[in-house]
Amino acid sequence: MHVVITGASRGVGAALKAAYEAEGHKVTGTSRTGGDGLVALDVSDAGSIRAMADALGDAPVDLLVCNAGVYLDKGHALDDGYPAEMWAEQLAVNVTGPFLCVQALLPNLRAAGGKVAIISSQMGSSTLATGNALIYRASKAAALNLGMNLAAALKEDGVAVGIYHPGWVQTDMGGASAAITPEESAGGLIERFAVLTPETTGCFETWNGRAHAI
Ligand SMILES: NC(=O)c1ccc[n+]([C@@H]2O[C@H](COP(=O)([O-])OP(=O)(O)OC[C@H]3O[C@@H](n4cnc5c(N)ncnc54)[C@H](OP(=O)(O)O)[C@@H]3O)[C@@H](O)[C@H]2O)c1
């Protein structure tokens, strides 16, 4: 299997890459700077996404994991936080990025009858609107909505799309006191990706297999 994982330099993406490689799969992992066996990719830059797709050529892609993400508005205050530039950057990375990556790799995904996994978050669920992290929550809600619409759009092509909450994970983003390790998250996600089919396309699931409210 050929797996493409965005944001594979650390955290959940790096653990996914290591686990797939340990199983003998070919992984194309990306980071913003590249190097160390990773392809350079900034998902907020359409030209960078095009260059990554050009480098892959017509290689079939069995699984694209749109994992790269940022959480920039942690702790922002409603009265004077959440600046416009932060909205633009976070939506570019967390929403436009996954869309452009899927779009650029459509021929590769169709060639393999492949699957797409969008890493959203439970913070994108409208049932958990707690009034903080407004940009991050809006971006992950949009990523969830994007995944559901891509699932519908790609159903006829046989390309299944799943949307996932990876758990609260001990990464740079999740912090040291988070509930699970990147390896636990990756192990659970890999099981979920394996059972994603055209029948379950559009699902929103947690890393440990629970259907999540939208
Ligand atoms: N950790 C959690 O508790 C948690 C919970 C729910 C959802 N999530 C989601 O899970 C995913 C992975 O999170 P994580 O905790 O592993 O985060 P992380 O440790 O902060 O790693 C983020 C990854 O995204 C990459 N990235 C950031 N901006 C990018 C850009 N503009 N273009 C390309 N790559 C970029 C980073 O690459 P560089 O090394 O190049 O910066 C890095 O590989 C994210 O989508 C996140 O929102 C995480």
Distance CA 85, CA 75 (A): 17
Distance from the CA of 184 to the center of ligand 1, in angstroms?
A: 16
What's the confidence (pLDDT) of residue 143? 98
What's the confidence (pLDDT) of residue 205? 98
Q: Ligand 1 atom 33: the closest Cα is on which residue?
A: 42
What's the confidence (pLDDT) of residue 154? 98
Distance from the CA of 54 to the center of ligand 1, in angstroms?
A: 23
What's the confidence (pLDDT) of residue 59? 98
Distance from the CA of 156 to the center of ligand 1, in angstroms?
A: 31
Walk along the chain (214 residues) in steps of 10 and give the mean pLDDT of each run: 98 98 98 96 98 97 98 98 98 98 98 98 97 98 98 97 98 98 98 97 98 96
Ligand 1 atom index nearest CA of 41: 33
What's the confidence (pLDDT) of residue 3? 98
What's the confidence (pLDDT) of residue 72? 98
What's the confidence (pLDDT) of residue 10? 98
Distance CA 76, CA 191 (A): 35
What's the confidence (pLDDT) of residue 183? 98
Distance from the CA of 187 to the center of ligand 1, in angstroms?
A: 17
Whole-model pTM: value is 0.98
* 32 touches ligand 1 (CB under 6 Å): yes
* 125 touches ligand 1 (CB under 6 Å): no
Q: Ligand 1 atom 47: the closest Cα is on which residue?
A: 69
What's the confidence (pLDDT) of residue 16? 99
Distance CA 88, CA 70 (A): 12
Strand 2-5 and strand 160-165: the pairing is: unpaired
* 41 touches ligand 1 (CB under 6 Å): yes
Distance CA 92, CA 100 (A): 10
What's the confidence (pLDDT) of residue 87? 98
From residue 110, give the alpha-carbon distance in Å to each of 17, 63, 89, 184. Answer: 22, 11, 30, 30
What's the confidence (pLDDT) of residue 157? 96
